[in-house]
Structure 1
Amino acid sequence: MQNLGVAITGSGSAVPATSLHNQTLSELVETSDEWIATRTGIRQRRLALPSESLSVLATAASSQAIAASGIKAEDLDLILLATSTPDDLFGSACQVQAKLGATNAVAFDLTAACSGFVFGLVTAAQYIRTGVYKNVLLIGADILSRWVDWEDRRTCVLFGDGAGAVVLQADKSDRLLGFALKSDGTQNHHLNLAYAGASQELLPDVNITKGTYQPITMNGKEVYRFAVQKVPEIIDKALFQANISVEQIDWLILHQANQRIIDAVAQRLNIPEHKVISNLAQYGNTSAASIPLALDEAVRQGKIKPNDIVATSGFGAGLTWGAAIFQWGR
């Protein structure tokens, strides 16, 4: 079967309506707008209400991406949902498939935390390049507010909820120019949303575990150190594979975790500030949603234009990190 190229032809995004500003957050925990903003760059974040679900946010972002790409939901062959916070532990991609009416698409979840969108992009591309599928919907969506300890000021100031999506299509020219992915499980303990089980006696001599999860825990210093060292390296690897220089990059879109990380990575790569896309101040860290959310906003604002070269990198729990270099549009 003939190998085909990949083009990213449409984007969409969706966030909950409810905002939580730093000032309001300081009523919950001992912190301040100045403290949060200077250390993270975050001013506010969006929070999903109990009535809102991940699949509804993901569907809204997906509908925009499908419309922007000029196809219909029935044209989709595959739906990949990158998330760590599904509505259902068995996965939420099939719920999105049903809500979209994408009757011809196979759907499944992919979990790589904040690297999820980049890992999903590379996964989707393989299905297209091998000629198996022509139209793939990739969604990054997370509702981390469900899993935050709102009394832990080290983590509760960071996270927000949202969804972003792109459509990838088979194309004559290959617009995914290069990528590189990495994992290091020895560093797993630095960032967790860990299983928490309570022992339950089922029968004499038979104990089982009743399952739930702990809130997010993070060693901020170690995660910062990891990101600032590893992300420039992985972008360099992806650029090498793409056979392009850092000067040829039009836009840098990093996972929106912390403005200090974004600035440090851009400086190490010698990428000027005007090429760096950041919307962290408005949304906080939305995990797998952060890159497609920032991408979609920049496309809709007319910043990112067809044929622009975009370098992107996700990094987070696992620990996992990856980079992808692509040209926007057909």
Structure 2
Amino acid sequence: MTLALPPTEAARELVEPVLREAVGRLDPHSARVARYHFGWTDGDGRPRAAGGKALRPTLVVLSARAAGADVERCLPAAAAVELVHAFSLLHDDVMDDDPVRRHRPAAWTVFGRAQAILCGNALLVLAGELLLEQGTSGYVAAARTLDQATLSLIAGQALDLEFQDRDDVTREECLLMSRHKTASLLACACSIGVTAVEGPVPLAAGLAAFGTEAGLAFQLADDLLGIWGKPEVTGKPVLSDLRTRKKSLPVVAALTGRTQAGDRLAELLARPGPLTEADLHDAARLVEQAGGRTWAESEAERRLDAAARCLADADLPADVRTEFLHIAQFIASRDH
């Protein structure tokens, strides 16, 4: 079947019924948290219009189309990837004490930390079940692919937590963390559709390479928004990453650039106690003066170019290649 534009809305319409059916299998407490987290209900369980970019399901659908398959065959894989993404966000918000997710209270602030953690665990198990119950060799391989991506994601989160207690994090380490935490699941989304429909292995590998580079561009854009994004657009407080002293890519680039501004930034971030609003604005200015913003913007462009080269070498329909490229450009230049 052919998707109507825009592709993210089309993918959401295709995948959401599969997601809702899967969530309906959970125990009532976990299902309630999941429905809230996905944006289907409010805190009292009342239905609401769902949002979200449906980025990962869209990439899975494009992956199946790249292999020339009917996209209906990949919908369980698309739903499974989104379930793992939801698991990671639920746990991430708890670990980082982030009170806001998608312009409204994060699930843990509504239902409690324990319920959010349990719901995340349930979604992770549900993702594997959704793949394995399809009963084909393609879906068994897809389950392995998603398992590997999930383990990589968890390794990245562990590194992210470790960095909070270190003042010697390098750019290479920060890029490795981002490759694990963010790029691994995007690479999986870009390739798992091919795997699930038993498409060519070289095509899956090429799309995974594209997803890795696009995923790094995504994280660089996200880190830039974490400092310079507008709260009314991002749904997060102004200068949110600096407020938590997060070792994001622009910050680490600034701290390791051997500049006077970088040294002053290190001194500021090392101060005990919460940073004042004036401190936060000074920190953002120092990150920029030390070259962190320019480096992150240039690195994002470099990763986008690398992603495009991966697609150029892949054997896939021209319209699908164009849609992959459009999504890569979107995620690297988005404002939220």
Q: Same fold by TM-score, threshold 0.5 exceeded?
A: no
Q: Whose helix proportion is higher, 1 or 2?
A: 2
Q: Whose strand proportion is higher, 1 or 2?
A: 1
TM-score for the superposition, normalised by structure 1: 0.31
